[in-house]
Amino acid sequence: MKSFLSKIIINRHFMRIWGAQICSLVSAYTLNFVLIGRVFSATQSTVAVSLFLFLYYLPTLVLGPFVGVLVDNLSKRKIFIYSNLLQAIIVLAYLGVKGRVWPLYGIVFVYSLCDEFFNPAVGAILPALVKKEKLTIANSLFFITSQGSIVIGALLGGLIMKFTNSLEAVFITASGLLLLATLLSWLLPKKPLAGSQKIKFDLRNPNSLGKAFALPAFWQQTKQGYAFIKNEPRVLFPIVLLSGLQAIVAMGLIILPPLAGLLRINFADTSYLVITPVIVGVIVGSLILNKKSKNNRKNVIVIKGLFLMGASLLAVSLVTAFTSQLAQGVAVLLTLLLGVSFVLMIVPLQTLLQQSTPFDVRGRVFGALNTGINLVSLAPLLLSATLIDIFGLRFVLVLGGAGFLALSIVAQKKKAMVLRG
């Protein structure tokens, strides 16, 4: 583990953007955890919670197709600074809400609008800050923190509410984290993160907005970006697969209650019997990947991850049919393998995407990825509970396992074309 971290931890620019990512994600998950609880407590309505989550994802529908062009043209450093700073200010607007619920919906929408630029910019700049041979390690660390931040954010929000019972304390903490992310972003270098043009605004002349963005060229760049993705299999396939994998992550939170029923454990126990093994699997998978990536091509690693995911899901569906404690122990071990398989798929695909995309279109590619992830993640929120109610969780697990195994077979046959790297 020490050598795994020491290879990249000496890169101070990477450490700054990694720290900014941690602060930004923990802030977001802390707010979502607390506010979802606040909305449900006040309304006793899952529809109200779904509307809250829908508004959190809605900015993707508004800005998603165009964010990438802005990321390519603007300074990534300034994107990090202004997006985090604006979010820190917006979070403080929660302080004026007091006991009311409905104003939360407007604030979360504006907050998410600012957040729309952060992830595509991060994906686009990593190759500019990290050497090619260390890119897999960098992506592994980013993936670990992106998943770990879910747990840390929920834990932080829960602890603040438990010991202070104050929403104001949560908002001030989240705003402080975002201000720290702003400071870390300000310390990033300017040159390697510069955009392709300097956009200036004249607030006295409304027409300057169109001139600043050169809107005809803006639309042309948007179309060029999507044409590049469509015609480059090594870019299109990772985007499609990464979006689908994030949908599985979104489904994970929804299937926890019925999974607890299948495993015959209390729902409260899933935190350490299901979620913790998955996080441990993510860490173990990152360590394995660090060793295997030196001697194995990315396509081979991704295919192994697809196969392991499919086999693990099928095994979980089979083991949950038994009632013994041994079966429960095996099921817990299988959730660890799910974490390993996620890393074996997501990190090489992310690295392949970065290496296969020229710098001048990287923002558009990762903007499309962010859009795909958010749009695909909406489907589980709306459909997965219904599918489980109709067919049962075990059937859904079998269907998912069979789908991943089939995809591994297709990828094995097509790897020379879509996963070359």
CB neighbours of residue 6 within 10 Å: 9
CATH number of the domain to which 232 belongs:
1.20.1250.20
Q: Are residues 140 and 239 in the same domain?
A: no
Q: Are residues 266 and 302 in the same domain?
A: yes
Amino acid symbol at 289: L
Question: Digits of tens for pLDDT over the chain (421 positions)?
Answer: 555 555 555 678 888 889 999 999 999 988 887 887 777 777 777 667 777 877 887 887 777 777 777 777 778 888 899 999 999 999 988 888 777 888 888 888 888 888 888 888 887 788 878 887 788 888 888 878 877 787 788 778 878 887 888 888 989 999 999 999 999 999 988 776 655 555 554 545 555 555 555 555 667 777 788 888 888 877 888 888 887 777 777 666 667 667 777 788 775 566 677 877 888 898 898 888 877 766 667 778 888 999 999 999 999 889 888 877 787 788 888 889 998 998 888 888 888 888 888 877 877 787 777 777 777 766 666 666 667 777 888 888 888 889 889 888 887 776 655 555 5
Q: Are residues 257 and 180 in the same domain?
A: no
Q: Are residues 178 and 231 in the same domain?
A: no
Q: Are residues 71 and 146 in the same domain?
A: yes
What is the pLDDT, as a whole number, of residue 215? 55
What is the pLDDT, as a whole number, of residue 140? 81
* Residue 210 placed within a domain: no
Residue span of the structural domain in which 242 resides: 220-421
What's the length of the chain?
421
Domain closes at, from 195, 229, 246: 195
What is the pLDDT, as a whole number, of residue 173? 93
Sequential DSSP letters for 197-259:
S-----TT-TTHHHHHHTHHHHHHHHHHHHHHHHH-HHHHHHHHHHHHHHHHHHHHHHHHHHH
What is the pLDDT, as a whole number, of residue 257? 67
For the chain, how many structural domains are there in total? 2
What is the pLDDT, as a whole number, of residue 147? 74
CB neighbours of residue 195 within 10 Å: 18
Q: Are residues 226 and 170 in the same domain?
A: no
Q: Are residues 236 and 377 in the same domain?
A: yes
Q: What is the pTM of this model?
A: 0.71
Q: Are residues 81 and 124 in the same domain?
A: yes
What is the pLDDT, as a whole number, of residue 271? 61
Dihedral sign of CA atoms 39, 43, 46, 50 in order? negative
Q: Are residues 31 and 97 in the same domain?
A: yes
Q: Are residues 231 and 176 in the same domain?
A: no
Give me Rg for the CA atoms of the chain: 22
* Residue 358 placed within a domain: yes
What is the pLDDT, as a whole number, of residue 216? 58
Q: Are residues 57 and 155 in the same domain?
A: yes
Which of 60, 110, 410 is CA-nearest to residue 241? 410
Q: Are residues 2 and 98 in the same domain?
A: yes
* Residue 212 placed within a domain: no
